[in-house]
Chain A
Amino acid sequence: MTARLAALVVAAIVLVTLPYWMHGVYYVNVASQILFYAVFALGLNVIAGYGGLVSLGHAGLFGIAAYATAYTLAIGFSHTAAIVFALSFGMVAMAIFAVLSLRASGIGFIMITLAVGQIIWGLAYRWISITGGDNGINMHGRPEPFGISLSSPYAFYYASLLVFVVAVAAMTIFVRSPLGAALMGTRDQPRRMNALGYHVWLIRFYACLLSGLLTSASGILFVYYNQFISPQALDLTASAEVLLMVISGGAGTLLGPIVGATLVVVVKSVVSGFIERWNFLLGAIFVAIVILMPEGLVPGSARLWRLAFRKTPPAAAADKAEEAP
């Protein structure tokens, strides 16, 4: 427990001081990207990891929040109005998305989310009067909360960090809560949960809403970061990418999506500067993860760690103590 606390303190210090020791604005921007993609991955992880409901349409929801922000600003509203509207519109979109998709679970759920995600992509591409079609929407400027302009990459980093910390804290509380336990129960034994008195559909619906909130928040950060949104950000590849972040890091763990987002963003934006075929490299890494640690990097590393140091799980240790004469 103290080791965990120490790791948390170290992580907090590293994240807070990052702009001071990280050389170059470019890398600070990469760090911001990691943070908001991590929030996106955490959002997908709520349903894919803890709920067992794999969505292949999440980039659509991410895009809806981004477009809502850009469009609200384009027609002349303030940043506050844009952010509030984007979050609420994102949640409403998620609610509709959930009502449609939760008619099924398993492969059925995947297929419906895929279809809905493609519809959203199609709308972004074709509804030119609102989305600008292929040209997307350009934005000018970032908000200035309390007089601090987020136009500086450093300030934007801290804004992303704040959202990230709130997201991680919310997830930590959620997974320990009764509702979190119920959600994991519906993933493992939906029939049994129903017979025990749980409303399986409603639990999944609430999980989708939490997922939608985190996804929308990351979509807003994304559009403020890029100052631009186009249909490319919500195509199937984008949905698959965030799903790969969740799975490669470890679905159904708190740390997994963060590690997965770091991996994907670092390979995409940093390693791609050195290796032209970075896509190939990313693919090779995923294959390696699937072969060596099918459960994901975080649980996989924990398993290898236990194996290397021969640490017996606490329950087994307790058994031994019990058997001792």
Chain B
Amino acid sequence: MNALTVTGLNKSFGGLHVTRSVDLNIEPGERRLIIGPNGAGKTTLFNLITGELTPDSGTIELHGQDITRSPSRNRAHLGMARTYQIITLFGQDTIIHNVRLALLGLSPQRWNPLIDLKRQSGFTEQGQKALELVGLGHIADRPLAQTSYGERRRVEIAMALAQQPKVLLLDEPFAGLSIDERRDVHQCLMAIPRDVTIVMIEHNMDVALEFAERITLLHFGEVIVEGNRAEVVNDPRTREVYLGH
């Protein structure tokens, strides 16, 4: 059974057809890279898969379960987590509180109006572990406002990992990072265990190509080329629409 199956997915914004009959079959444990020029509909595809947008037609299945119509929050409970291309964090809080919110989101305790969240050592300990995975354990209590861009990218990843997802969607995890930061993020992505399926949008071809096993090229909302690393990179259409001459 596939980890994630997308069949005949379509989405239009008015006259703009941003996703055109997209099919994706992603196997458990796979590392899939999605590439394409700006405006190819990569992030829209992610938003459809995570439920932030509703498709006009087509189906999405997570481990064989049809989730096309279920809201984002249910998909999170079914084991889907994502990071955002535009960093979307709780800027007034500390790093650990951001991760704690990620953990709380999947816990029945999230409805509890009486206990003191900061004293729930379980959340703090698990959050600390997730932060150590991305190398931020030592600054867990730092307010987010005092962190660098690269650290925030890693907080995004820590929040997703804290939820122990089965399918992880990474939207440009290397965007805007320095070479050193890129190496750090790359290391923490490589360390993610194989039972997690990863779908990644990325423009940084050097790091992304090393990471991905299969690559899907999107262009004007359509899947143009799909295959393993060598097949896609050597395909003339990839050169034409994406890599340039």
Interface residues of A (CB under 8 A from B): 173-174, 176-182, 184-185, 188-189, 191-200, 206, 210, 313, 315-316, 318-319, 322
**Do the beta carbons of B113 and A193 come within 8 Å of each other?**
no
Are the C-beta atoms of B142 and A195 separated by less than 8 Å? Answer: no
Q: Main SS of the interface on chain A?
A: helix
In the assembled complex, which residues on chain B have CB atoms less than 8 Å from the CB atom of A316?
A: 146
Which chain B residues have a beta carbon within 8 Å of chain A's beta carbons? Answer: 50-52, 71-73, 76-77, 81-82, 84, 88-92, 94, 97, 100-102, 104-107, 109-118, 120, 138, 141-143, 146, 159, 163
The reply to whether B76 and A197 form a contact with Cβ atoms under 8 Å apart is yes
**CB-CB nearest in chain B for A194:** B72
Using Cβ atoms and an 8 Å threshold, which residues of chain A touch B71? Answer: 194
Report B-chain residues with C-beta under 8 Å of the C-beta of A322: 138
The listed residue (B106, B113, B120, B143) touching A197 by CB distance below 8 A is B106
Q: Is the CB of A188 within 8 A of B146?
A: no
Select one of A173, A192, A198 contacting B113, CB under 8 A: A173
* A315 partner, pick from B51, B107, B141, beta carbons under 8 A: B141
Q: Which residues of B contact A200 (CB under 8 A)?
A: 73
A234 → B minimal CB distance (Å) = 28
Are B92 and A188 touching (Cβ within 8 A)?
yes
Contact B146 A197 (CB under 8 A): no
User: A173-B113, A178-B109 are contacts. A194–B143 as well, Cβ < 8 Å?
Assistant: no
Contacts of A179 in B (CB 8 A): 110-113
* Top 8 closest pairs, chain A to chain B, by CB: A196-B105, A197-B76, A197-B105, A179-B113, A194-B72, A192-B88, A176-B116, A177-B113
Q: List residues of chain B with CB within 8 A of the CB of A195.
A: 50-52, 72-73, 76, 81-82
User: Could you list 12 examples of A-B contacts with CB < 8 Å?
Assistant: A173-B114, A173-B116, A176-B117, A178-B109, A178-B111, A181-B100, A188-B90, A189-B90, A191-B88, A197-B77, A315-B142, A319-B146
Cross-chain contact B88 with A182 (CB below 8 angstroms): no
CA distance A318 to B94 in the complex (A): 13
Among A191, A206, A210, A316: residue with most chain B CB under 10 A = A191
* B141 CB to nearest chain A CB (Å): 6
